[in-house]
Every structure is written in structure tokens, then in C-alpha cells.
């Protein structure tokens, strides 16, 4: 496994990382095995956007005795209310959920505190000027998070956040098709096949500027949706008009400026090993 520095945070992450999709609604035994296999493959970074309490508790138990081997990207503003996931900017709910997360993970800190899902400029201004960013800065000062992150699908919002100097890490959706599209507040546009009927041929200039700005400012990028939610791997759904391979998608994302790792989104042990196999893939397989 190859490890990369996460911007200027000083944190080293495996370039193939993992999302938590495969851990939701799974028994403890599976969660423990998933971490066992991550450790064997050298995968040390794990995103925790899902707020499911059982998943967090199972993960906390599975981390016992090896917490220091993993880099946790935990989300601020992703909460569990009335038995379901919610995104909120209500600071009381945000604080309660984050403290509960630390307790369930059985840890006093996480490496990355990721402000969750900021896709509109208005929402970014609310986060930047309001209680959420104050809380994130407080968590960083107290050592409960090592650095502040922000997740977004919108390059305009992401650029503003990166240029503000408040954000150390950006979680952004990167793949060969999304990179063709201009900014939008509506994430669903990324998945709509009609969007690609416009025959975009070149990479969106603002997205290129975003990656280069992150590189120049030392903001590390962790990648989500490298496979387009799986659409790029399906010949019937892929906006590219053909199925791409996991290795092609991973290589594309890892080749962008400032990218440190890709959250693979593996839902099974087999998919996890397949993604880790990128490290041994030939240049032809990655092309």
C-alpha cells in the first residue's frame, strides 16, 4: 500500500481508503472482520459519514486495541434523529451527535472532523459565519479533532471554503464524468443521465482550479463517489457510454492534484480486496 500526506496536516493516509457503506446494518462480527481485512491490506483511512448508532458502537468495539492504526474521518452535522439519518446545522443536535459519536467509537479524538455535506453557497455562509464552524474550531483547539474538513459536491462552494483558510481537508466527488460538469447546488444533477446529453468534452475549469488551489494551499482531498455511486461501472448507467473499471476510476481520482486518498465505498470484503488490488495493477489496467 502506498501512503500519501494529507495536505499539510501531517497525517499519512493510504491512497486506497474505505467508506462506511459496507458497515451499516451489519453485525459486530462482520465489522470486526472488515477492519481485520483493512489492516491486512494496509488500508488505514475510514470515512464515517453514516450516523447509525449501532454501526458506530460496533466499530468502536472493533477498533479496541488498534485505534492508533486507523485514521478516522468523522462527520460533524450528520445526526441520527427519529431512527434515521439527518443533516442539520442545529448546533445543539450537532454537539450531541458528535459527542455521542466519540463515546460510541470509544475514543477521545478523531483525526478529521468533516463538516458534512455543504453544497450551496448560502449553506457555506451559514456554516462559516455561524455556530458550526465555531464548534469545529473549538473541537480542534481541544484536540478532539486533529483537523477540520468539509464535504461537498459543488466546486464553487469548495473553492470558497478552501480559500477561507478554515478548512484543512476537502472531501469531494471526483470521477471522469463529474469533472466535465459545471457547479450546481443540486447533487442529483450529477446522477441524471440527461445532464450528459450536452456533450461536454473538456474538464470543467472551476474543478481544475479547485484541485490546483488545494495543492497550492496544502489542503488535502479525500475522494468520494469515484465510481459515481456505481453507475460508471455499469454499461447501462455509465454517462461515459461504456463501463469503466474500478482501477480506471481509482487511477483517475488519484491522478488529480492534491488528492490524498479515495474512499472506495466497498460493501463487501471481496470489493475491499479488489480496490486494494489497484496497488498491483498494471499501467494498462489503470489507463
Report the CATH number that the domain containing residue 111 is assigned in CATH. 3.20.20.100
pLDDT at 201: 61
In a domain, 259, yes or no: yes
pLDDT at 186: 77
Sign of the C-alpha dihedral computed for residues 265, 268, 271 and 276 taken in this order: positive
Structural domain containing residue 7: 3-280
Whether residue 120 contacts residue 185, with contact meaning beta carbons closer than 8 Å, is answered with: yes
The label of the residue with cell 454499461 reads: 235
pLDDT at 193: 67
Please give the chain's pLDDT, 287 residues, in tens: 999 999 999 999 999 999 999 999 999 999 999 999 999 999 999 999 999 999 999 999 999 999 999 999 999 999 999 899 999 999 999 999 999 999 999 999 999 999 999 999 999 999 999 999 999 999 999 999 999 999 999 999 999 999 999 999 999 999 998 888 877 777 777 667 666 666 556 778 999 999 999 999 999 999 999 999 899 999 998 888 899 999 999 999 999 999 999 999 899 999 999 999 999 999 999 99
Bridge partner list, 55 = none
Instruction: Give this prediction's pTM.
Output: 0.93
Euclidean distance between CA atoms 256 and 223, whole angstroms = 10
Query: Smallest Cα–Cα separation from 253: which of 222, 214, 212, 217?
Result: 222
In a domain, 202, yes or no: yes
According to DSSP, the β-strands at 78-81 and 84-87 are antiparallel
In a domain, 238, yes or no: yes
pLDDT at 197: 64
pLDDT at 184: 79
pLDDT at 195: 65
In a domain, 131, yes or no: yes
DSSP secondary structure letters along 177-225: TGGGSPP-S-GGGGG-GGGGGG---S--HHHHHHHHHHHHHT-EEEEE-
Euclidean distance between CA atoms 109 and 99, whole angstroms = 10
According to DSSP, the β-strands at 45-48 and 259-263 are unpaired
The label of the residue with cell 459519514 reads: 49
Phi, psi of 19 (to 5 degrees): -90, 180
pLDDT at 164: 98
Burial letters for 7-29: b for 16+ Cβ neighbours within 10 Å, e otherwise?
bebebebbbbbbbbebbbebeee
* Number of structural domains the chain divides into: 1
According to DSSP, the β-strands at 110-115 and 145-152 are parallel
Q: Which three cell numbers stand for residue 55?
A: 454501526
Q: Which three cell numbers stand for residue 26?
A: 451489519
Query: How close are the terminal C-alpha atoms of the chain, in Å?
Result: 19
pLDDT at 202: 72
In a domain, 287, yes or no: no
Euclidean distance between CA atoms 150 and 220, whole angstroms = 11
In a domain, 86, yes or no: yes
In a domain, 113, yes or no: yes
Amino acid at each position: 500500500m502506498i501512503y500519501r500526506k494529507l495536505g499539510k496536516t501531517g497525517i499519512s493516509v493510504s491512497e486506497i481508503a474505505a467508506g462506511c457503506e459496507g458497515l451499516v446494518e451489519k453485525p459486530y462480527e462482520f465489522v470486526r472482520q472488515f477492519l481485520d481485512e483493512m489492516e491486512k491490506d494496509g488500508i488505514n483511512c475510514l470515512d464515517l459519514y453514516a450516523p447509525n448508532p449501532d454501526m458506530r458502537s460496533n466499530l468502536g468495539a472493533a477498533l479496541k486495541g488498534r485505534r492508533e492504526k486507523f485514521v478516522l474521518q468523522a462527520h460533524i452535522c450528520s445526526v441520527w434523529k427519529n431512527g434515521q439519518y439527518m443533516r442539520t446545522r442545529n448546533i445543539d443536535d450537532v454537539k450531541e451527535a458528535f459527542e455521542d459519536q466519540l463515546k460510541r467509537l470509544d475514543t477521545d479524538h478523531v483525526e478529521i472532523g468533516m463538516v458534512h455535506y455543504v453544497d450551496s453557497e448560502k449553506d457555506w455562509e451559514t456554516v462559516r459565519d455561524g455556530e458550526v464552524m465555531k464548534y469545529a474550531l473549538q473541537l480542534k483547539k481541544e484536540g478532539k479533532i486533529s483537523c477540520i474538513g468539509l464535504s461537498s459536491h459543488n466546486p464553487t462552494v469548495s473553492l470558497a471554503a478552501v480559500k477561507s483558510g478554515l478548512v484543512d481537508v476537502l472531501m469531494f466527488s471526483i470521477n471522469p464524468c463529474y469533472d466535465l460538469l459545471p457547479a450546481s447546488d443540486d447533487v442529483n444533477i450529477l446522477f441524471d443521465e440527461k445532464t450528459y446529453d450536452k456533450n461536454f468534452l473538456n474538464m470543467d475549469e472551476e474543478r481544475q482550479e479547485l484541485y490546483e488551489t488545494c495543492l497550492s494551499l496544502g489542503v488535502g482531498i479525500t475522494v468520494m463517489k469515484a465510481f459515481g455511486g456505481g453507475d460508471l461501472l455499469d454499461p447501462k448507467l455509465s454517462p461515459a457510454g461504456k463501463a469503466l473499471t474500478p482501477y480506471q476510476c481509482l487511477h483517475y481520482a488519484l491522478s488529480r492534484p492534491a488528492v490524498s486518498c479515495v474512499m472506495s465505498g466497498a460493501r463487501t470484503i471481496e470489493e475491499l480486496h479488489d480496490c486494494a488490488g489497484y496497488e498491483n495493477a498494471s499501467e494498462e489496467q489503470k489507463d
